[in-house]
Amino acid sequence: MQQPNQHINQLLQRCEIGEQSAQLEIYKRYYRAMYNTALRILKNSFEAEDMMQESFLIAFTKLSTFKGEVTFGAWLKRIVINKCLTQLKKNKRFEEVKLEVAQQSPIEDEEVDYSSIKSEEVMNSINSLKDNYRIAITLHLIEGYDYEEVAEIMNITYQNSRTTISRAKNKLREILSTQKV
């Protein structure tokens, strides 16, 4: 397992001195995952492609700031997410829901069998959520960020992060359960 990390580190060193073949190799390794992350946030393939490209440019120009505290892929993904959220704000498609304004919907204790639902249906249902729910649940469930990290990325409080993710999960359950009825 040490070998891939050493190889990435060697590639990154070559990237820092501007070696284009190393940059191309890094791009080939990460572009698909970064594009998918951008697409899940932006829901527009052209915008996702643009943000992914810009994120790689930022990463290559700011490579000296990469400290190696996390993997390069995690560092790059954070750049992609931040670029996408900035783009959403620029387009006024992302609005923070204030904790005191949001209404709590009652939670029903009915049992629903989700085992027959296909992943494509789940992704379509996630994409149908309003932007702040979709982004929060994507960051939490798909990208694997915890509540604190989601709060930091979305620039909201920890409590608002937990509440937003909880409400997004409830809304997702509601959508999925109505599809199966």
Mean pLDDT over each residue of the chain, to the nearest integer? 84
pLDDT above 90 coverage of the chain, percent: 52
Range list of H helices, the chain: 2-16, 20-42, 45-61, 72-90, 119-128, 131-137, 147-154, 158-179
> How confident is the model at residue 114, as a pLDDT?
65
The more confident residue out of 165 and 96 is 165
For residue 119 the two structure tokens come to 């992943």
Give residue-wise pLDDT tens across range 83-139.
999 988 887 755 555 554 444 444 454 565 667 778 888 888 898 999 889 999 999
pTM score, two decimals? 0.73
> How confident is the model at residue 111, as a pLDDT?
60
The set of residues, in sequence order, having a beta carbon less than 8 Å from that of 129 and lying 6+ positions away, is: 137, 168, 171, 172, 175
- Mean local confidence (pLDDT), 161-166: 93
The set of residues, in sequence order, having a beta carbon less than 8 Å from that of 78 and lying 6+ positions away, is: 153
